[in-house]
Structure formats: structure tokens, C-alpha cells
Amino acid sequence: MKKLISVLICLICLCACSSLQTKPILTEISFTAEITYYNEVYTLEAQMLKDATLVATIIEPEELKGLTLTVTKETITAEYLGLTYKANEATLPFSKTVLDTYLPLLNIINTPNIVANSEGVITGETENQKYSLTISPTGLPQTLELKDKRFTVRFYNTKINKED
């Protein structure tokens, strides 16, 4: 009888755990991102701060290495070789790529109680695009795809930076 009760308790716990949905962890993290935009590939070292500010430094391609972009909902600031420039799509075309990455993440951050489905996927829509974010079982981002498939981001070496 004790064995039967133990088995039933284990089954209840397993069923309860399998129905839990994962919440995304998208702020206070650092990561390497590989962005494929059409046929171009960019690699960035980035941080998403507590206030949802994205700070990203390009490490590839070599021609853009060292360019640091700081992105908020309102502004994109580019810094390179000691120069600082407030950018927009018209003056810095790469800023569109950065915004395509940032706005879906910001949308998820600003949606209360959002969770991934059982496959670890969160789908949504910004003003201009539909997206799909895959997260790990711990909630850290793995891939971001825009639905038109011209754009994907793969997240590597993701770490939580919370300070207690």
C-alpha cells in the first residue's frame, strides 16, 4: 500500500511539473548573439539591462568591430572610436536590424504574465512584424525569428547578471 501511495504521489508531482510553463528571462542578462539578416551575419556581445536597455558591441564582421549600440525604445546611440552618434533608420541602416531584434524582446518584457508554450516558444507581434522566441527550460533566450524568415537571432553563452 505504501508503494502504491508513493507511486501516486510521484505521478501527481510529475503531471503538475509537466504542465508548468516557463517565464522568459530577458532582462539582467548578457549573451553573444549571431544575427542573420538576409545573407549578412553579425555577431554581437550584448547585455539587456534591468531597465530593458540593450547594449551591444559588434565583434563581426571585422568592418564594424567595436561599434557599440545602446538601444532603448526611444533612441539608438552608436559609439565608435570615441565618437558618439544618435542614430535612426535613415542615417544608420544597421539600426533597423538592431530594432528588429530589440522590439520583440521589449514586447515580451512589457507583457505581464507571459509564458512559453510547452515547446518553449513565445509568439507575438510588434507594430511591424510577427515573431517567435524560443527559450530554454530555464527561461533564457535561444532563438528569435521574424515570421518573414529573413531574420534570425541565435543566443549563445547567455548568463544572468542579477545583483542581489
Q: Where are the domains of the chain?
A: 22-160
Tell me how far the alpha carbon of residue 137 is from its chain's centroid: 14
What's the confidence (pLDDT) of residue 16?
Answer: 43
pTM for the structure as a whole: 0.79
Outline where DSSP puts E strands in the chain: 29-37, 40-48, 54-60, 68-71, 76-80, 83-87, 121-125, 130-135, 141-146, 151-160
What's the confidence (pLDDT) of residue 8?
Answer: 41
For 87-145, how does the pLDDT look when each residue is reduced to its tens digit (9 = 90+)? Answer: 766 666 666 767 777 888 888 888 888 888 888 999 988 877 889 999 999 999 999 99
Give the CATH number of domain 22-160. 2.50.20.10
Only one residue has cell 509564458, namely: 115
* Distance separating alpha carbons of residues 110 and 37, to the nearest angstrom: 25
